Each structure stands twice: as C-alpha cells, then as structure tokens.
C-alpha cells in the first residue's frame, strides 16, 4: 500500500487487493461482515472506489443521516471505520512526510481495515461537530446582540413614554388651572353682571313707578324690563332706549285714560241728547288710533275726536271703514299747518332746496312743490291739493312735524311764542312742460277718499323708506322680511338715515315700514297705471354701491377720457322703489352724473298714483329690470348727441327695460 499527497494536501492511499477470505460472497460485492460498526456520531461519509464506481457525496452540503436501523446505516458504519483510519493516516503522514520513511507509512497503512474494497481513494466528507459548534456559537452571539439591542430600545422607549406622560400631565394640569381661573373669573364677572342687572332692573322699576306705570298690571312694560335685564347688562344707550319706551308707554297710558274719561263724558252727553249709541260706540272705538294718527300730523286730540264723531252717522253701510277719517284728519292737519303759518306771519318757501337736493340721496323721489332750484320745469302747484301730505318731505321741514315736509316721526318742540320774521312769498312755479316719451297719466290720487299705502312713501316719511332699503342693501339682506338681527340693522339704518333726515329710527319704525311695504304689495295691482313708454331717473355716483356690475364698469372706465359703450344681457332687481319721470329735463334727472333710461314694455308695473303734474312713474320694490347697455360719456358730450334735451352733465348712462311681473 502506498500513500501520496496532491497539491492541495489530500492523501491518496493505494490499498492492495482484499484477501480471499475477506471477499464478499458471490453476488454481494462489498459486504461488511466481520467489521466493527462505527459509532453513530451523525457523520456522513462516502467512499469512491473503482470497484463500486459510485460518485463522491459532497458532505459539506449534505448533512442528512439515515436511520440507524436501515441497510444504509450499517453500510455507512463500515465506511466510517475506513474513513477514520484514513484520516488518521493522512494526518500522520502530513506531519512527518519530510523525514519519515516509507515503512512508517506502511505501518500506518497496515492499521487500515479496508473491508471488502479491493482498491480505492478515501477522503473526509464532513466535520459536522466542529461546524455545528461554530454555527451555534455564532447564532448565540447574534442572539445576545439582538437581545441587548432590544433591551436598549425598550429602555429608550420607556424613557420617552415617561417623558411624554410627564409633559402631558404638566400640560393637563396647566389647562385645568387655566380653566379653573377662567371659570372663577366668569363666576366673578357673572356675579358682578347679576348685581349690575339687578340694579338696572330696580332702577327701571323705580322709573316706571315714577312715570305712572305699574309693571304688575302692565304686561308690556313688565316684559320690556325683564327682557332688557335678563341676560346681559345694558349699555348706557340701551338703558336710555328702554327708558324712552317706558316713557312712551306711560304717555300712551295717560292718553288712553284721558280718552276713556272723555269718552265717558261724551257718552253721557250723547245719551242725554238721544244719539244713536250703536254707531257712537263704533266711532268711540276708533278714537285711540285716530288720536295717534292725528298726533303724527300735529292735529290736537279734541279736533280729532270731533272729526271722528262727526263721521259716525255715515257709517251705516261700512262701519269698519277708517279711511275717510284718516283723509279728513290729513286734510285738517294741512289746514292747521296753514293757519299756523299764517298766524306766525311766514310761508314755507317750497321752491328752496338744500345742497343735497330734495331727495337727500340718489334714491329719493321728487319733492312735493315746484322747486325752483332743483326742478325748474316741475310745474307742481305750491298749494295743497287733495288731502294728505304730499311730496318726499326730505328737504323743507327738517325735524319739525309742524313744518311742511317735516319728519312725521319727530317729537313736537314746545313753541317759545316768538314769531319768526315774515319772509317774502315764493314766486309761482313755471307752467309744466309737455310730456315726452308717451308721458304718464295726469297726477292725483285715483281714490281721494282712500288712504292708499303708497301715500306714505310719497309723503314726508319718504326718507325713512329710502334709507330703510339702502340699509337692507348695505347688509346684503335680499328681502325686508329677512331681518334677523334688529340691533345691527338699526345701527346701519340710523347711520344711513343721518344723511337723509330720518333720525327717529327704532324697532317700531321697522315694523311700520315692513307693514307699509306689505300693504303696497297687496294694493299695487289696484293703483293707477302709467301709460309712459320710456322714463328717466337721475342718480349720483353713490348708486354704484347698490349694483356691482355698474361699479365694475365705472372702475374700468373712470380713468379713460374717451367714450365707451358695452352691451349687456343682465336681469336684476331694483333695490329701491324707483321714482322716474317721462321728462329728462327735470331737475332731479338732468344734472345728475348717472342717468337711467328705462323702456317700458306692455304689462310693466309702473304706476302714477299720487303724482301731481310731474309725469312721474313709480315702480315697486324688487321690480325686475333687464340691463341692456352701459355708456360712458366724455365731459361736455350729451347722451344721443342731444344736449338740449339731456344736457352735458351725465357721465354714465344705463339703458334698461322695466320687465313685467312673472306669471304666477
């Protein structure tokens, strides 16, 4: 047997032929009888010999071990013995190859029990225990590192959680402390407010007692006091407003008591004279409302009562008709004013106007008289025609209800008894011009005996109606029924009314204006229709605030000195009740910066109710109109090139069509 080494250090042993006594029986080449079984250490070896011609098994990648009871296991035990012996021989040969003799190698070879193999080459296939220990150690080291990292991460997470919890607890404690402080402040403030409201309520109750109101027997006064001091402390302005309302209630109560006493005396007198008590009681029931109506027109109570009872005999067919009485009172009011002016030696100069014009703003209607300065061609008579207050009342009377065109809601001021110096009488107005554009029907009320709702709009209360609609427009309220916050609306309304001589504005005025607009809407179809085919209206540049499309056009062209025109296809609603004229030469049309030129198709809603000689047409609130075109005129140029008819003051012209109402 010879042992050789290759270049990689592997040993090859040439084993001589197996003796005949060790050969396997016939047909069982490679038997393993008589060999010592190898211990089962989990190793897998294979031997490649020329006799068996079996391929070597790669032990490095094949760790599977067969069952110890199988035939393969016994075969592998035998191979293990050979493998073990070969490994030991190779190791010894490797260490002593440089100086050992071949005999030592032969001795080493004799110790090899080679079984039944005749000749072959043996090499180790596996070092499983050593490799397993190394892998196990590596895995244990990796596991310990992961455990350490996980422990560090857990420790860091716990520290972060503890820090976050501490911060949250601190913030929570701070919030609780702040809430407690705010709650304590609110409690203190509430206690102070409650004390203040209690003082205010006590003061109002004392005031009511002083002016003769017993809240226990006057539900309206009791509700006003409780409502005013229930939730919040009143400001000084609010307290004055409540006091004013209580004073009004006291005045009305005293007036009612006086009326009641006078009514009782009159009843006794009527019974003594044998009057018709049935209609007398009907007339007496109207006295309180008629007294209030007369008060607004400056007519004494006794005069109102005499008018009421002078009419009761004609009520047999319509006992609930109060319109005749109101007309009569209005007529008496005009007569009283005229007598007063004559007695004081002065006449109202109805042709004079203020610097803002008789309308106060661009939305005001014509003044009642032939204003020489503002309407040179008006032609309206200076004397009072049919009964009832006429004109817009925005200019002449100021806040004195005794003056013509004065504020009907202003309180009368006590007279000092000193007459004013007599003023020269106003010159008579020029004759009215011919109507243009088809004209409107002749003026005057369609039913002089009726008090139509539009009469209030045409009269001295006009600034209140106009400023009311302007306030709606400023607040973006689409309909006058949609006023939700009365306090905010009153504030804006008062601000607008200051420039329009509408100063006596409160919650009652809101109800009155809303009721009047509703009445006009119900009566509109019965008003006298206008037969004009085109009308005109003048406005200042302030009107741009009511119509965004006009404001955009003005902003785009105001810096351009040239002419410009654009066509529009836009349908909008009138933000006010528009009063217009068939004559563009009117003083409230011709000198204005902005002029409306309206076309009136068949079925339009324009009426000429209550108009006296000015060929005016009035359109209802929220009337539909179609904007046809906008024009920008350079300075010095006239609309349509007709300077005689339109003048040269207009810078912007709006062509529009007043549309009929939509079918229901």
Residue of higher predicted confidence among 75 and 318 = 75
- Give the pLDDT confidence score for residue 461 in this predicted structure: 81
- Span 599-605, average pLDDT: 92
- Give the pLDDT confidence score for residue 143 in this predicted structure: 86
Give yes or no for residue 598 having a pLDDT over 90: yes
Q: Lowest mean pLDDT: which of 90-99, 250-259, 528-537, 645-654?
A: 90-99
**Cα distances (Å, whole numbers) of residue 185 to 181, 193, 275:** 6, 12, 71
Rounded-to-integer distance, Cα 451 and Cα 322, Å: 9
The two tokens of residue 469 are 């609609």
Whose CA is closest to 396, among 432, 360, 423? Answer: 360
Q: Number of C-alpha atoms within 13 angstroms, CB side, residue 118?
A: 9
* Contact residues for 123 (Cβ-Cβ < 8 A; gap 6+): 10, 56, 86
Q: Determine the Cα angle at 595 with ends 590 and 600, to 5°.
A: 110
pTM of this prediction? 0.39
Rounded-to-integer distance, Cα 353 and Cα 372, Å: 8
Tokens 């209206």 identify what position? 537
- Span 315-329, average pLDDT: 54
The predicted-structure confidence for 490-505, as pLDDT tens digits, reads as follows: 989 988 888 878 878 8
The predicted-structure confidence for 356-403, as pLDDT tens digits, reads as follows: 444 434 333 333 333 333 333 333 333 333 333 333 333 334 444 444
- Give the pLDDT confidence score for residue 114 in this predicted structure: 44
CB 464 within 8 A of CB 409: yes
414 Rama sector, left if φ>0, alpha if ψ -120 to 50, beta otherwise = beta
The predicted-structure confidence for 524-572, as pLDDT tens digits, reads as follows: 888 888 888 999 999 988 888 888 889 888 988 888 778 888 888 889 9
Q: Determine the Cα angle at 33 with ends 27 and 38, to 5°.
A: 125
* Contact residues for 276 (Cβ-Cβ < 8 A; gap 6+): 312, 313
Asked whether the CA dihedral 150, 152, 157, 162 is positive or negative, the reply is positive
Distance of CA 158 to the CA centre of its chain: 49
Highest mean pLDDT among 221-235, 264-278, 323-337: 221-235
Q: What is the C-alpha end-to-end distance of the chain, expressed in Å?
A: 129
Distance of CA 334 to the CA centre of its chain: 49
Give yes or no for residue 425 having a pLDDT over 70: no
The two tokens of residue 267 are 């009843």
- Give the pLDDT confidence score for residue 284 in this predicted structure: 65
The predicted-structure confidence for 105-116, as pLDDT tens digits, reads as follows: 445 444 444 444
Tokens 């509109």 identify what position? 524
Helix or strand holding residue 569 (H, E): strand 564-573
- Give the pLDDT confidence score for residue 197 in this predicted structure: 82
**What are the strands, taking DSSP E only, across 160-285?**
none
């Amino acid at each position: 047997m010879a042992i050789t080494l290759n270049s990689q250090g592997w040993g090859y042993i040439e084993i001589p032929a197996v003796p005949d006594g060790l050969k396997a029986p016939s047909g069982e080449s490679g038997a393993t009888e008589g060999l010592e079984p190898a211990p089962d250490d989990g190793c897998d070896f294979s031997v490649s010999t020329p006799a068996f011609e079996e391929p070597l098994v790669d032990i490095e990648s094949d760790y599977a071990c067969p069952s110890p009871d199988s035939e393969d296991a016994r075969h592998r035990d035998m191979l293990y013995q050979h493998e073990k012996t070969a490994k030991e021989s190779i190791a010894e040969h490797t260490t002593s190859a440089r100086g050992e003799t071949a005999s030592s190698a032969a001795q080493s070879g004799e110790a090899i029990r080679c079984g039944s193999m005749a000749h072959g080459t043996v090499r180790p296939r596996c070092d499983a225990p050593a490799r397993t220990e190394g892998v196990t150690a590596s895995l244990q080291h990796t596991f310990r590192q992961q455990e350490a990292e996980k422990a560090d991460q857990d420790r860091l997470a716990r520290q972060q959680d503890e820090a976050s919890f501490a911060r949250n607890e601190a913030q929570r404690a701070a919030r609780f402390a702040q809430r407690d402080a705010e709650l304590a402040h609110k409690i203190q403030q509430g206690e102070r407010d409650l004390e203040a409201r209690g003082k205010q309520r006590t003061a109002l109750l004392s005031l009511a007692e002083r002016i003769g109101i017993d809240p226990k027997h006057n539900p309206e006064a009791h509700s006003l006091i409780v409502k005013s001091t229930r939730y919040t402390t009143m400001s000084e302005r609010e307290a004055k407003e409540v006091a004013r309302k209580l004073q009004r209630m006291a005045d009305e109560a005293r007036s009612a008591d006086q009326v009641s006493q006078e009514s009782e005396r009159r009843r006794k007198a009527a019974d003594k004279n044998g009057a018709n008590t049935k209609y007398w009681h009907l007339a007496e029931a109207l006295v309180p409302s008629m007294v209030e109506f007369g008060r607004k027109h400056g007519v004494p109570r006794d005069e109102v009562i005499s008018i009421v009872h002078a009419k009761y005999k004609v009520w047999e067919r319509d006992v609930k008709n109060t319109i005749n009485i109101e007309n009569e009172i209005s007529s008496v009011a005009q007569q009283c004013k005229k007598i007063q002016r004559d007695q004081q030696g002065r006449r109202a100069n109805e042709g004079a106007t203020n610097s803002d014009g008789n309308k106060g703003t661009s939305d005001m209607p014509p003044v009642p008289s032939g204003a020489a300065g503002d309407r040179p061609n008006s032609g309206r008579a200076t004397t009072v025609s049919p009964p009832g207050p006429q004109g817009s009342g925005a200019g002449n009377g100021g806040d004195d209800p005794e003056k013509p065109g004065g504020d009907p809601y202003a309180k009368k001021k006590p007279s000092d008894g000193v007459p004013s110096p007599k003023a020269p009488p106003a010159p008579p107005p020029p004759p009215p011009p011919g109507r243009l554009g088809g004209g409107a029907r002749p003026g005057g009320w369609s039913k002089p005996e009726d008090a139509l709702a539009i009469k209030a709009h045409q009269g001295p209360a006009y600034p209140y109606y106009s400023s009311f609609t302007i306030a709606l427009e400023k607040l973006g309220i689409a309909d006058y029924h949609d006023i939700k916050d009365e306090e905010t609306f009153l504030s804006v309304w008062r601000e607008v009314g200051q420039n329009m001589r509408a100063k006596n504005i409160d919650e009652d005025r809101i109800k009155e204006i809303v009721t009047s607009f509703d009445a006009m809407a119900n009566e509109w179809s019965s008003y006298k229709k206008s037969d004009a085919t085109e009308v005109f209206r003048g406005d200042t540049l302030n009107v741009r605030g009511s119509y965004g499309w006009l404001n955009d056009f003005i902003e785009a062209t105001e810096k351009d000195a040239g002419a410009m025109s654009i066509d529009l296809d836009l349908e909008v609603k009138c933000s006010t009740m528009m009063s217009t004229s068939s004559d563009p030469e009117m003083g409230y049309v011709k000198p204005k910066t902005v002029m409306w030129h309206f076309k009136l198709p068949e079925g339009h809603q324009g009426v000429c109710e209550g108009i006296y000689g000015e060929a005016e047409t009035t359109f209802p609130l929220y009337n539909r109109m179609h904007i046809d075109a906008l024009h920008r005129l350079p300075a010095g140029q006239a609309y349509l090139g007709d300077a005689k008819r339109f003048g040269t003051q207009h810078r912007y012209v709006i062509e529009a069509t007043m549309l009929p109402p939509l079918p229901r």
